[in-house]
């Protein structure tokens, strides 16, 4: 008997993505599974119920499909009410927000759910095709530049007109991870003069390969998992002194320095903003973690000393079609490790599965979640 995969509609305010697109649904059906999609789940991403039925999926009128599934695919964490509807012993795959609200995982443990967290996919070569944090960060980096261009009162490229020549905008990208590199590439495509800063000196070559100038402050802060380590107080002071000059000279600053599960590092204090040009723009992609800019308010646009500071949240959802497509491909590649002919097998010797699994067989197997649960009950 084929295994049933269910896709509920996302209910987070402002969420437009869907966990499975028709193209991937068709591939999973060809692999021998049955696909159920809640009605209008893909509507905001540009996928109609008819698109899913044409791919071979069935449409369910409500979230009762949660209780009939062997596997449930989501973008955002399910609510406690939704979790109660899951079939005991089923598999749940999606973003789980493993750093907060850990009581949800006790419920998953009690229901014998195998819950995979897409945030915990290890950063190893074999897992790149499943790394949804990277696929969605790339979208955020691209869109951040478009947001900045819309907010800025200046052209990005140099333009020669009958009235004279307009100089290109100067863009500074802080953080040269996946989002930062895509922001650099997008700003360059729009014709801006781009500088980029990262505490990891190893990314200098990548930055320069995209046509941007690397701001080198002679601090090497490579950390684990591809992220930067926290700077010492002395390093922070040196960082501030050098960055202040570059921020002051910029028309646009894109902030992308964020580490999942931790507060975003504070890089641009109010004093630095006070010295920026009138009409300058800061787009802070680290807003959900508190922001790289001291003045950032998540989800809000702040005006300070003639500088616009925008702290967008859930940026990938503003490009819902392609964001859903990439996320669905990430899920499909992960499912390839679990779907074995007519059965679902979770191999705990596989690093990708083990590292991303939070609850399994009635246990909480993620040590960090275990510790947080124990701390909350003490």
Active-site residue, 142 included: no
Residue 378: CB partners within 8 Å, gap ≥ 6?
none
Contact (Cβ atoms closer than 8 angstroms) between residue 69 and residue 4: yes
Active-site residue, 370 included: no
Residue 21: CB partners within 8 Å, gap ≥ 6?
42, 45, 47, 324, 325, 328
If you search the block for the tokens 């209910």, which residue do you land on?
11
Q: Given 82, 87, 227, 355, which residue is catalytic?
A: 227
Return phi, psi of residue 81, to 5°: -60, -40
Q: Given 48, 128, 345, 374, which residue is catalytic?
A: 128
Q: Given 40, 49, 123, 355, which residue is catalytic?
A: 123
Q: Given 63, 70, 131, 198, which residue is catalytic?
A: 131
Q: Given 114, 117, 132, 134, which residue is catalytic?
A: 134
If you search the block for the tokens 């949240």, which residue do you land on?
313
Give the 3-state DSSP-derived string for the chain, with helices as H, strands as E and coil as C.
CCCEEEECCCCCCCCCCCCCCHHHHHHHHHCCCEEEEECCCCHHHCCCHHHHHHHCCEEECCHHHHHHCCEEECCCCCCHHHHHHCCCCCEEEECCCCCCCCHHHHHHHHCCCEEEEHHHCCCCHHHHHHCHHHHHHHHHHHHHHHHHHHHCCCCCCCEEECCEEECCCEEEEECCCHHHHHHHHHHHHCCCEEEEECCCHHHHHHHHHCCCEEECCCCCCECHHHCECCCCHHHHHHHHHHHHHHHHCCCEEEECCCCCCCCCCCCECHHHHHCCCCCCEEEECCHHHCCCECCCCCCCEEEECCEEEECCCCHHHHCHHHHHHHHHHHHHHHHCCCEECCEECCCCCCHHHHHHEEEECCEECCHHHHHHHHHHHC
Q: In what order do the strands lie in the sheet with 363-364?
A: 58-60, 34-38, 4-7, 71-73, 91-94, 114-117, 357-360, 363-364
255 forms beta bridges with 174, 284
Active-site residue, 128 included: yes
Instruction: Indicate which residues carry an active-site annotation.
Output: 123, 128, 131, 134, 227
């Amino acid at each position: 008997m084929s295994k049933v995969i269910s896709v509920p509609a996302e209910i987070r305010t402002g969420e437009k993505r869907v966990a499975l697109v028709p193209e991937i649904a068709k591939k999973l059906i060809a692999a021998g599974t049955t696909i159920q999609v809640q009605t209008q789940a893909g509507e905001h991403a540009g996928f109609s119920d008819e698109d899913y039925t044409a791919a071979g999926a069935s449409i369910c009128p409500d979230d009762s499909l949660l209780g009939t599934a062997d596997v449930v695919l989501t973008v955002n964490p399910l609510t406690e009410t939704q979790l109660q509807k899951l079939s005991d012993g089923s598999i749940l795959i999606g973003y789980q927000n493993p750093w907060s609200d850990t009581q949800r995982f006790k419920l998953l443990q009690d229901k014998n759910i195998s819950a995979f967290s897409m945030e915990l996919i290890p950063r190893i070569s074999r897992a790149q095709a499943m790394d949804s944090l990277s696929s969605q960060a790339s979208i955020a980096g691209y869109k951040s530049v478009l947001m900045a261009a819309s907010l800025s009162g200046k052209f990005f490229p140099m333009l020669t007109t009958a009235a004279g020549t307009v100089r290109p905008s100067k863009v500074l990208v802080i953080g040269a991870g996946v989002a930062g590199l895509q922001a650099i590439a997008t700003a360059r495509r729009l014709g801006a003069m781009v500088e980029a800063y990262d505490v990891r000196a190893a990314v200098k070559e990548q930055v320069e390969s995209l046509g941007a100038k690397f701001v080198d402050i002679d601090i090497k802060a490579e950390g684990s998992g591809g992220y930067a380590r926290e700077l010492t107080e002395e390093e922070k002071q040196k960082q501030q002194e050098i960055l202040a000059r570059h921020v002051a000279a910029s028309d646009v600053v894109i902030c992308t320095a964020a580490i999942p599960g931790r507060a975003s590092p504070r890089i641009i204090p109010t004093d630095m903003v006070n010295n920026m040009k009138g009409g300058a723009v800061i787009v802070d992609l680290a807003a959900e973690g508190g922001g790289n800019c001291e003045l950032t308010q998540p989800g809000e646009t702040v005006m300070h000393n003639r500088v616009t500071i925008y702290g967008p949240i859930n940026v990938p959802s503003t490009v819902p079609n392609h964001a859903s497509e990439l996320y669905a491909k990430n899920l499909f590649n992960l499912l390839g490790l679990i779907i074995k002919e007519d059965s679902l097998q979770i191999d705990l010797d596989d690093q990708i599965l083990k590292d991303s699994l939070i609850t399994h067989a009635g246990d909480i197997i993620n040590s960090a979640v275990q510790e947080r649960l124990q701390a909350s009950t003490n």
